[in-house]
Structure 1
Amino acid sequence: MNILKLTSGREISYLNEVEIRMGIDERNGEERYKNELENMGISDITVHKYEGGFKIWECTIDLCDFIEENKSKFEGKSVLELGCGAALPSILTAMHGAKEVFAQDFNASVIEFFTVPNFEENPHSAIVQGEAMGWDDVPTKLNGRKFDFILSSETIYNEDDYQNLHDAVAATIKDDGVAWFAAKFFYFGVGGSVPSFCQFINERGVLVASETKVITASVPRRIIEIRKVL
């Protein structure tokens, strides 16, 4: 078992690679999810095939620290995590009293062998649902469900996904809700960036996006806050 220790000292448990592999082997995962798992451990991301859900990314830790700084806000709230992977941010909100958590990832193998087991390894009383779908499916599959908080980390690297991310947030955020996206300022060699994402969101006039926290590092990072235009 791995432990993520936050700046505050709080710890979140998550499965290590050996435990993930054991789960895959025990439940015939290689056969059931062959197309998803064939690149696991070989590449971080194979676009729209395997989206890196078994890896803990830098900005996931940033988002967890930011949630910890705002921990009093989650009691009794509903939370959606987009592109959840390990789901450490949404697990943390559950530990801070979130009532309902929905964790979405592109890959069903990630949900079954990483997301759900990680929730089971940490103390909380939230109602948890994990489901695999694309961001373009979120508005229809969630069928009108609205959330107080929407969380996402390391998901804005591909500008081709901006419209689907915008629509997923617009369809699921409550009128007084907030979305927090943790991201690198620029994704060199890939195309996405914080400025281009915020510009895309703001130009559509449905949501408003702004930088709410700066993380200083060799590769600068940001927390983006998104709210509904009322």
Structure 2
Amino acid sequence: MVVITPTLADVAPSNCELKLDSGRCIQYVAACDANPRKRVSDEELPISRKNSNGNEQREDWEGVNSLCHSLDNIVEVEMETDFFEGKTVLEIGFSTGLPSVYAFENGASEISIHTLSKTSLQLYCKPTLQRNNIPANKCKYSFGNLDDLRKALGGKRFDVILAPDLLNRSESEFEALHDILIEAMADGGICLFSCFTYYPKVDGTLAAFLALLKSRREFDALERWTSPKTDIIQRKVYQVTRSLF
């Protein structure tokens, strides 16, 4: 996962709001000006572009927006109103707490969030869940790399895994990431992840990860959403479930 070294002004917490197509709003806390957009839809998603001149942070947020929009579409448009009902949820990748808030407000029984750094956990993730009045006894937190994530899981399995920009990392990490999904996903569980088709600053690509899934034959992958083909780099949302064969 790419790590950006921010300035003090960049990390200052700010109250924000994301309005989805259904009219639902997610209140959250983020770095100043990290995600200025208040609305997300198929037509209004920002055009993907190559990372340069400090745009990485906003582009990461595009993945969160895309995933939240997809969740809203599943619940509100496809009418899978019980998608999160009574489910345990794990948020990994570029973790912000927004997907977890949406899951909890739609019936999730428990959420766990693993983020890259203790700073983002303390400044943004925890305040976001607190701002949405999610009970502390329903939340678990951890931070660090993939090894730290595996330790934090402690053998626990989850019904739903939500993973914004899960593939923004070196391809050499894909095997470990695949094994974590095997360990973390409950039988009958599902993972929804957002990603660019490729990332300019790392060698991990969507095509490489899908090829790995196909070769290992543990999971089936299905595209749930895609940004327009006119985007410089397309963004996708994929669904991963355990293979039936």
Q: Distance in 2 between matches of 1:13 and 1:188?
A: 31
Question: What does 1:1-230 align with in structure 2 at a 5 Å threshold?
Answer: 1-17=15-31, 57-71=61-75, 72=81, 73-124=83-134, 127-158=138-169, 159-216=171-228, 218=231, 219-230=233-244
Report if aligned partners of 2:196, 2:206 keep a CA contact under 8 Å in 1: yes
Shift of 1:149: 0.3
Look up the match of 1:48: none
- The change in CA–CA distance for 1:172 and 1:44 in structure 2 (over 3 A counts) is farther
Look up the match of 2:43: none
3-state secondary structure, aligned to 1:70: helix
Report if aligned partners of 1:148, 1:178 keep a CA contact under 8 Å in 2: yes
Q: CA RMSD in A?
A: 2.5
Shift of 1:123: 4.1
3-state secondary structure, aligned to 1:57: helix
Report if aligned partners of 2:89, 2:158 keep a CA contact under 8 Å in 1: yes
Among all aligned residue pairs of Structure 1 and Structure 2, give the percentage whose two residues are the same amino acid.
Answer: 26
71-80 vs 160-169, greater mean Cα deviation: 160-169
Q: TM-score, normalised by structure 2?
A: 0.74
Higher relative contact order (CA 8 A, sep 6+): 2
Look up the match of 1:26: none
Shift of 1:173: 0.3
Shift of 1:148: 0.6
Report if aligned partners of 1:104, 1:131 keep a CA contact under 8 Å in 2: yes
Q: Distance in 2 between matches of 1:74 and 1:99?
A: 8
Q: Distance in 2 between matches of 1:76 and 1:119?
A: 18
Q: TM-score, normalised by structure 1?
A: 0.78
Aligned residues: 202
Q: Which runs of no fewer than 5 residues in structure 2 stay unpaired?
A: 1-14, 33-52, 76-80
176-185 vs 202-211, greater mean Cα deviation: 202-211
Q: Distance in 2 between matches of 1:187 and 1:111?
A: 24
Alignment deviations for residues 2-26 of structure 1 (CA, whole Å, 9 cap, x no partner):
11111222111112436xxxxxxxx
- The change in CA–CA distance for 1:192 and 1:199 in structure 2 (over 3 A counts) is same
Q: Distance in 1 between matches of 2:113 and 2:201?
A: 29
Shift of 1:201: 2.1
3-state secondary structure, aligned to 1:65: helix
What amino acid is the match of 2:215? E
Report if aligned partners of 2:146, 2:176 keep a CA contact under 8 Å in 1: yes
What amino acid is the match of 1:215? S
